[in-house]
Structure 1
Amino acid sequence: MSSQLAALCAVTSFLWLINSVEDHQIVEQPRLSSTLILLIASFTSYAISHFSAWLPGANGRFDDELGLSSTGNKTKPISQRNLPKKPRRYFVLILIICIILRLESFHRVTADLQCSKPGLEAFLPLLIIAYQLYASPRRARTFDDEREEFTQTMYEAFSDFVAKSLYVAVISTSLLSFGVYLALTSEPKSTLFCSSRNDWAKFVVFVQWTGVVLDAAIVIIAWRILAWARTTKSRLRTLAGILLVSGLGAGLLWVMSGDRMGGDPLFWFDCVIDGLTLATLLVSSSLLAPEGGNVLGLVGVVTFITGLLISLHKVFTLGSWENVSGWATWGAVVAISVGFSLFVYSTDVRRVAFIHRSLVVFLLLLLVIAVSIFTPIKMSKGMNAHPLSKIIYDARVESDRWLIHADYSDSLPAAVREYQERNHGRAPPKGFDKWWEFANEKKSPIMDHFKQMGDDILPFWGISPVKLREDTRRAAKEFDMALLKIQNGTAKHNLPQTNPYKAVMDELVELTKDFAEHLPDFEMAINLEERPRVLAPWDQIQRSAAAGMKRKKSSSLLPGGGSRDDESVEDDMPEPKLAENADKTDMLRNAMQPDALRELTALTCPTGTKVRSGVHWDIRDFCSSCAKPQSNGQFLTNQGLSLELCHQPDLMRLHSFHMAAVEVLPFTDLLPIFSRSKTDNYADIILPLKRPSELKEPFPPKSQPFEKNQKKLFYREKISRVFSPKELLRGGQQERLVHLTNLAPFSTQKHRMLLPNAKRDKAHYREVLTAPVNSLLPFDVAFSSYSPCDITLASCPHDFSSHSIKESTTTDPFKNQYILTLDTDTGPSPLFPSVLASPGNVPFLSTIFKEWYTERLRPWVHFVPVDIRFQALHSTLAYFVGLKDQTKEHGSTDGRWIANHGARWASEALRREDRQVYLFRLMLEWGRLVDDDGGRGGG
């Protein structure tokens, strides 16, 4: 029983490690974390050695009171047990070298994980049994064996045959490894690609195999060393010494690499937890070392449990887009079950986690029968109708309900009540009556729903007016910032005639002319960059928001404008600073690197969320749990939830916004900065600020009817970056899109799509070769030019295969029925508003950004949402245009309806007048916050 407890601890700690590493930050600094974990495990093992007599299964060769060992129904002296060959003196040194090399191979593979092959680790048991067959061949049959067989029962004879048969041992281990391999290789893959121009990527699979061989060497050598330890105490201290020297060796490599020192408390906490868990795994495993050949049994049990859990998950997802191969799932379950059933007898594993092997085999038999019945039924079920038909219908119904909620009040008193109900009981600001009249005059379709504005403003209610005014001036003195001043009913800004953003601020001032007389005096710091600027920690924002929730307007609604103290606004305005005039060399030297940016972004998420708790490093496989909350099958349905990053850690390595160096550093404290767009993690206040390019283009653009446009999905992008890290070149959303839709004909990359069956009466998710499907779908996706870096500053060649990028001149996008708009490296696509306003085009929108109008648009009603992972891009386009000679056009009518409805809504809710209505209300809210007599109830 004691050895079973040790085995249970070993298996449990191993499963905990492999499942928790995905949520930990240790992969972000691999060499440092490896050093710390090994050292912590070493110290822990040494400490445990002082309590060796209390440990389960403590049975060193010369421990007191342990002169006998039970083996089956017979009792043999320990000296006669099947111990491995006695280790040589240099084995300890070899083991330490193997551990260090294994860690390095793991770091190398994870650096190019998208080039690796899944499931190779499943063949570890095969390598171990190959060694055992070579080093310790099964003993020859003797007269005693034959006499014993004569008196055995049929069951005992079968068990004895299995235990002594070389063929059964090899076959059972092979089946087990193959079944686990099948389970591990059926995961959907992400769209990150492995560049053929990356020489190192060609050796990733070789390094993977090297790592598996090193794993086998580590297990075998450690088993030989620990099995011959004189006592349990000496065994644990030997283990502690090996870990200590290995940790020091890993630390030396860390120092030589020049990697930075981690400073996040969560990183250190993860290292401590993983170090303690590793110590538990190794100590528990070392207690089983004197069991002789049982090292294969332990490795097999761990492999079995891991593979079985993955296979059962696959069974439950049969028929969904996550699992399209029923036969692979069935084969994995059968191979694992049959293989392990034979394996427990061939390796003499009596119990699996306290469960007798006979019961385990019986349960596996029941599992095989159940899966054999369930799999064909589930796979033949299919879908009678395309899910997008229902998704679009439901979206239309929900859109109608939302519009009623957004435009509920029909009078000023009703609007005041709605405001109080939606803003924590707080009364509207002074001048709200003038805003109501203005909004009605401009025929605004939205009178009550300004949730984004309320969420943006709320944290600043916890800051005093004096500090807000000081912080505004402080922010206005930074790079690419402007100061907008409202004084005595007039708006002005501080940008000189030569500033390239002057036209943008002029247009913003022009928007205020119709209502500036109703505004109090205040100043606003305007971010001129596309990239948002305020990356404040979640704890700070929550404290400020909680303080603001307690403050309510103490006076009733007052007509007219608010307080106008001429001394409340300074007369002098700071000189603006342009980043383009700064020293580029210094800016590049001091730029924030992607890993540091991701760490700051993680701090903006609530405690316990996936992004806050760890770093997503498995970029090879699709993160189903990340996409599932906002999706229906493959398809994105909840656009609002998709813009929230904290439950989607994979987006940190799938979007260029999180993967490029930042020259102008973000603010890490809560500053009142107004920006045109932001992601959910930034605390900027969104305002309707146009881009310089939008001032030059006609709006809405000229377009022809939907039917006259080409039936294509069009995308063009010009990429020009100062510096592009390798991970951005293989994983940025623009690069992934162009690569995915322009694969060479000989490419073996696969994609999962919703396709009809042979009778065309049902639809099923199927895995198909991507390249042939690309030729059947009307993709017109390319870069108009691609220059990922300035070679005068950094050597950074294109990380594209010749077939995965096609450079072309930009053509008129509005001559295509479907136009895909993607975020840039710093913000949302500037093309999207124009596409939305065109009745001849359907906008396909893929974004992580929010703008002032984001909450006014409904997915599948005004635009087609596309997940940034692109898992449903092919299925979505096939729904609208059909697949040549294979599927019908289900969504042509829906496409025309979305194009017309989106354009009509843009002409009603995204006009210049709607920007004025939004800006007027935003300025009233801000004017109240910075006014000492604004009725805040405190400060």
Structure 2
Amino acid sequence: MASPAGSSQLAALCAVASFIWLARSIENHQLIEQPRLSALLCLLISGVAAFVASFFSLWLPGANGRFDDDLGVLRLSRVSLPRKPRRYFLPCLVVCIILRLEAFHRVSYDIQCSSPGIESWLPLFVVAYELLRGRGPRPDADEKFYDEIHHTIFDDIGQWIHEIKLSLIIGILTLSYGVYLSSLQGTRSTFFCSSLGNPSLVLFLQWAGLFLDTSIVVLFWRILASARTTKSRLKTLSGILLTTAGGVGVLHSISRFLQRSNPMSSYSGGLDSLYAFDTAVDGMMLSVFLISASLLTTEGSPLSLVGIVTFLSGILSAIQQTSLIGTWENVSPTTSYLALIFICNGFAFFVYANNLRSVVFVHRAFIVLILILITLAATIFTIIVGSRAIDGHPIERLVYDGRVEGDRWLINAKVSGSLPVAVREYVERHDGRPPPRGFDTWFKFAMDRNSPVLDNFAQMERDLSPFWGIAPEMVRDGVRQAADEHDIVLVKIKNGTPIYDSVSGASASIMDDIMAMIKSFGEHLPDLEFAVNLDERPRVLASWDKIPTGKHSSLGKLLSRRSSTDGAALRIDRIIGNYTRLRDLREMTALACAPGTKSRSGVHWDVRDICTPCLQPQSPDSQYLADWPQALELCHQPDLFRLHGFHMTAQPNYGPLPELLPVFSRSKTDSYSDILIPLRRHDESLELVDTDVKFQAKQKKLFWRGKLDGNPDKELLQGGHQERLIHLINNASKTDEVTILLPGSNRPGTYSYEHASAAELNNLLPIDVGFIGPSRSCGEDCAARHEFGFKEDTDEESIIAQSLTNQYVLVMDTDNGPPKGFLPVLRSGSVPFLSSIFKEWYTERLLPWVHFVPIDIRFHALHGTLAYFTGIGETGEVRLNGRDVKLDGKPDNAKWIAEQGRGFASKALRREDMEVYLFRLLLEWARLVDDNRDKMGFTLP
């Protein structure tokens, strides 16, 4: 049996460690997706764990009674334990826990309407209870008589201060206020709170939840402190948790009964096991926290553990915010510094005023010394870094780096000047694999059309790579399987002539166009088949574990042989039913990510704050998007599940295919396994609009029009990428702020990040965005209709033509697929501001800050990016943030990007380039589906 001192220190350490785990991990786990079921399972696990722990009470602190005064690590020097609890305390506690869980569920559902930092006032509520309870020991009659004789007015003041515990109140107030200041420092997301979110109810539930938290803490303490031994205490805790689990289970059953029309997920291809793992881990960590906390607080005061937990939450956040001083994530160094100072000083007051001799196993004197050192380090760091300005605008560097990278890419894309060099380049870039048969004919075809890209087809290789791990006959079977799906057409090439199954309407013209391209080189192709997806959305959403490595190596050959025998890599069984529910689509998208990635769980519920870790890979040094390929990858950006309409719109008729089927599509996101193909759009003719207008002659304005289709649900209306843009620009409230880089006041050429009112910036910057069409498209019962500014009812053709008269044109994805009109804008001589998560056949050819301006889908840098090009107050200084501001624009850089984009489109995005790409793709495909593909390489004569 462990010593009491060692056991109590271990209990304190376990309580602190388990709390930090729960606080840091809960946001990335799936529990929030099914709140009642998750609460039921976690409470059940915790209750069982507490019951089992009761049989090992000899190894736990307090087994033989109360802690000794010299051993309790959170023990007050003098404690008045509570009286025996009333009988109704237990049912009240159970009801309070259930109500608190329901309040948390409702607040998290509309967390964008919540106010940060309310939870930081919990210690103040707990200390208020202790003051009202009056826990000081009463003097006997002789002491009272002696006091009355020698009593003075100073004794009255001292007694009053002692009774109200003024030093403790000061410490708690300072600590809570510091934690509150720290919580206000988070960068807010553009996911907005509308009338649909009912902000008044959310705020009420937050304060009600704080009251319930206080009641739960006090009731737990009153009930568990009356237990005589640790064993009885743990059994009581187990009974409370299991009873609460039963109550939550009843609520869960009722909710499922009332929502029978909304069944459980029909797709559970792997997240069920992940959910079970998350539930088990979090349930065990919750049990560790509750058991440890019950063993500690019952021997002292509930305020002790509450104060320590609040301190830990605040100090970790404050240190992190202080480390970000000078970056776009923290533009208020004074607030961060004050928050840290208040937390350190408040906790120092607290440990002495509450007579805490040690925290966990660290003596309070050492704790105070550490807090002093933190304060000194923060002071020095804030003075040095807080006044530092940024030399030169980051976009200037991005444009320069883009020019260098553009030159390097063009050289790498066209190394070959002759067929032998092209063959050598192919072999080197494909791990020793020779080119496909007919490569010489393709090379001549590309040279005759003066293609600027002869060697760099990385996207094509990534698309085809998985199918190298599958037997050819199974790939061919997969083509026919895919062709049976809705809006997928089977194309056959026989004797050099392409034919396709009968289609009608606009789809027929699209297929005729691709047939015309194939006819220009079809005589050089063997007989083959492939399936073309005519829908706007990509179709193949296979889970990560169903996609082979696909490299043409000994491992690829082994996978190919194994696939031909057991069919594990590609199952072509008919999928029963369709996946129309939004949750199903998100689960399938999450499973397409590799295990261990952030998006694998498909969960990101804190839409109120921007996910800065999600931004770090593509924006490492500033708020501006630097790495465009990284921005197109979803697996490190779980927040996009609730920030982009594509992931927030259920499919009405059919869902994506969950198996790895070979489907050729126009576009896809990073999660999909479609094979990209040059495929004309329904509005391709719009690209012929005459746009021969000089950049200077166009209007200096950022223009965008979108269309709100169907009857979007509540989440999409508040968080969809188009809806967020409209709210940010047209309906920003007085409290909406954005971070923008403005000229520094110290010396010319320097900049610093500042918060600025979104409404003021919208008036200062030339932005014109809106939805076209009547407001009825939002639905008859759309309560948030007033949130959006609908423009004139204009058709899409005239809108694209109108957009090309502006210097800057924002191009965004639709809810169902990639953006429309990007190529017309690129060819028009305007600057495309591209905000997208989709890839097309030409995506790898276009370079950010060279051919277009990349805009993150979160729009946190939209104002700052536009301000760099157009400037602010160019005709004279304007008032912003209480001072005169003048930011000179960079129209020359904008003109250069517009000219580069237009020139490159005329060289690398022509119809001839589409034919070159398609010819090479079909040569590669012909080899893939041939049974002798390992022996079909092209060799020089």
Instruction: Give the TM-score, by structure 1 length.
Output: 0.89
Provide, for residues 558-587 of structure 1, a one-character-per-residue CA deviation record: whole Å limited to 9, x for no partner. xxxxxxxxxxxxxxxxxxxxxxxxxxxx99
1:85 Cα offset (Å): 2.8
CA change 1:59–1:855 in 2 (3 A) is farther
Q: Which residue of 2 aligns with 1:53?
A: 58
CA deviation string 1:855-896 (max 9, x = no partner): 000000000000000010000000000112333333211000
> Is 1:285 the equivalent of 2:285?
no
Worse overlay, 682-691 or 806-815: 806-815
- Structure 1 residues 552-571: aligned runs within 5 Å: none
Instruction: Report the Cα distance in structure 1 between the residues aligned to 2:579 and 2:296, rounded to whole angstroms.
Output: 52
Alignment match, 2:533: 527
Map of 1:175 onto structure 2 = 174
Report matched runs for 1:477-626 at 5 Å: 477-496=484-503, 498-543=504-549, 550-551=556-557, 591-613=579-601, 615-626=603-614
Q: Counterpart in 2 of 1:824? A: 814
AA paired with 1:805? G
Q: Kindly report which structure 2 residues correspond to 1:99-110, keeping only aligned pairs within 5 A, or say none.
A: 99-110=97-108
In the alignment, the residues of structure 1 paired with residue 218 and residue 253 of structure 2 have an alpha-carbon distance, to the nearest angstrom, of: 30
Aligned residue in 2 for 1:560: none
Cross-structure match for 1:306: 313
| Structure 2 residue 19 is the aligned partner of structure 1 residue 32 | no
The CA distance in 1 between the partners of 2:535 and 2:318, in whole Å, is: 49
Amino acid at match of 1:894: N
Corresponding residue of 1:14: 19
Which residue of structure 1 aligns with residue 882 of structure 2? none
Measure the CA separation in 2 of the matches of 1:189 and 1:469.
50
- CA distance in structure 2 between the partners assigned to 1:388 and 1:199 by the alignment: 37
2:650 to 661, 674, 680: 661
**In structure 2, C-alpha distance between the alignment counterparts of 1:604 and 1:736, rounded to whole Å:** 27
Q: CA deviation at 1:551?
A: 3.9
**CA contact 1:720–1:788 (8 Å) conserved in 2:** no
**Distance 1:314-1:914 versus aligned 2 partners, 3 A rule:** same
Do the aligned partners of residues 682 and 145 (structure 1) sit closer, same or farther apart at CA in structure 2, a change above 3 Å counting? farther
Is residue 2:435 matched to residue 1:423?
Answer: no
Partner of 2:752: 764
Give how far 1:353 is off: 2.9
Deviations 1:788-828 (A, max 9, x none): 8685xxx64152445x4243345500111000000001211
**Would you say the 8 A contact 2:611–2:639 is kept in 1?**
yes
Which one-letter code corresponds to 2:392 in the other structure? Answer: A
4+ runs deviating over 6 angstroms: 140-148, 159-165
Counterpart in the other structure of 1:646: 635
Secondary structure at the counterpart of residue 501 of structure 1: helix
SS in 1 for 2:607: coil
3-state DSSP of counterpart to 2:686: coil
Cross-structure match for 1:94: 92
| 1:788/1:796 contact within 8 Å kept | no
- CA gap 1:711/1:789 in 2 versus in 1, 3 angstroms: closer
SS of 1:46's equivalent in the other structure is: helix
**Distance (Å, rounded) in 1 between the aligned partners of 2:249 and 2:162:** 44
Which of residues 364, 367, 379 is equivalent to 1:357? 364
Select the residue among 271, 282, 287 that pairs with 1:274. 282
For residues 92 and 743 of structure 1, the distance between their equivalents in structure 2, rounded to whole angstroms, comes to 49
> Could you tell me how far apart the structure 2 residues matched to 1:72 and 1:693 are?
75
Structure 2 letter corresponding to 1:522 = L
Is 1:775 aligned with 2:763? yes
Look up the SS of the partner of 2:274 in the other structure: helix
Equivalent-residue separation in structure 2 for 1:661 and 1:368 (angstroms): 51
> Structure 1 counterpart of 2:527, which letter?
D
Whether the 8 Å CA contact 1:60–1:290 is kept in 2: the answer is no
Q: What is residue 253 of structure 2 aligned with on the other side?
A: 255
> RMSD of the alignment, in Å?
2.7
Structure 1 residue 145: Cα displacement: 12
Asked if 2 retains the 8 angstrom alpha-carbon contact of 1:597 and 1:658, the reply is: yes
Does residue 670 of structure 1 match 2:678?
Answer: no
SS at match of 1:843: strand
Q: Equivalent residue for 1:808?
A: 792
Q: Secondary structure in 1 aligned to 2:603?
A: coil
Deviates more, 1:90-99 or 1:883-892: 883-892
Shift of 1:485: 1.0
Q: Answer yes or no: is the 8 Å Cα contact 1:176–1:336 preserved in 2.
A: yes
**What corresponds to 1:215 in structure 2?**
213
Report the more deviating stretch, 649-658 or 2-11. Answer: 2-11
1:629 paired with 2:617, answer: yes
Structure-2 separation of matches of 1:199 and 1:272: 32
Residues 141-164 of structure 1: per-residue CA shift (max 9 Å, x gap)? 89989999xxxxxxxxxx999987
Please show how residues 861-880 of structure 1 align to structure 2 within 5 Å.
Answer: 861-880=850-869
Give SS of 1:478's match.
coil
Deviation digits for residues 189-234 of structure 1, max 9, x if unmatched? 00000113x2633310111111111111111100110000122111
Contact 1:52 1:232 (C-alpha < 8 Å) held by counterparts: yes
Secondary structure of the equivalent of 1:665? coil
CA distance in 2 between counterparts of 1:698 and 1:783 reads 22
Q: What corresponds to 1:378 in structure 2?
A: 385
CA distance in 2, matches of 1:926, 1:147: 102
The unaligned stretches of length 5 or more in structure 1 are 149-158, 555-585
**Residues 457 and 160 of structure 1: CA distance in aligned 2, closer, same or farther (over 3 Å):** farther
SS in 1 for 2:671: coil
Q: 1:162 to 1:927 in 2, by over 3 A?
A: farther
Counterpart of 2:717 in 1: which secondary structure?
A: helix
Q: Which residue in the other structure is 1:577 paired with?
A: none
Deviations 1:517-556, CA, capped at 9 Å, x for gaps: 000111111000010000101111135558886349x9xx
Match of 1:713 among 702, 705, 712: 702
Q: TM-score, normalised by structure 2?
A: 0.89
- Distance across 2 between alignment mates of 1:251 and 1:788: 41
Opposite residue 741 of structure 2, the aligned amino acid is: L
User: What is the aligned partner in structure 2 of residue 679 from structure 1?
Assistant: 669
1:340 to 347, 359, 362: 347
Cα distance 1:547–1:60, how it changes in 2: closer, same or farther (>3 A)?
farther
Distance 1:146 1:714 in 2: 85
The CA distance in 2 between the partners of 1:255 and 1:788, in whole Å, is 37
Q: CA deviation at 1:372?
A: 2.0
Identify if the C-alpha distance between structure 1 residues 934 and 160 changes in structure 2 by more than 3 Å, giving closer, same or farther.
Answer: farther
Describe the shift of the 1:878–1:299 C-alpha distance in structure 2 as closer, same or farther (beyond 3 A).
same
How far did 1:592 drift? Answer: 2.0
C-alpha distance after superposition, 1:289-333 (max 9, x if no partner): 33232x101110111011101111111100111001011101101
Partner AA of 2:520 in structure 1? D
Give how far 1:49 is off. 0.7
Give the conservation status (yes or no) of the 8 Å contact 2:15–2:290. Answer: yes
Question: What is the number of equivalent residue pairs in this alignment?
Answer: 876
Where does 1:121-132 land on structure 2 (aligned, <5 Å)? 121-132=119-130
The corresponding residue for 2:712 is 724
Q: What is aligned with 1:576? A: none
**In terms of mean alpha carbon deviation, does 355-364 or 643-652 score higher?**
355-364
| Residue segments in structure 2 that go unaligned for 5+ positions in a row | 148-157, 561-575, 878-884
Deviation at 1:735, TM superposition (A): 0.2
In structure 2, what is the equivalent of residue 692 of structure 1? 682
Question: Residue 41 of structure 1 corresponds to which residue in structure 2?
Answer: 46
Instruction: Give, in whole Å, the separation in 1 of the partners of 2:695 and 2:498.
Output: 42
2:530 aligns to what SS in structure 1?
strand
Q: Specify the SS of the correspondent of 2:660.
A: coil
Partner residue in 2 for 1:749: 736
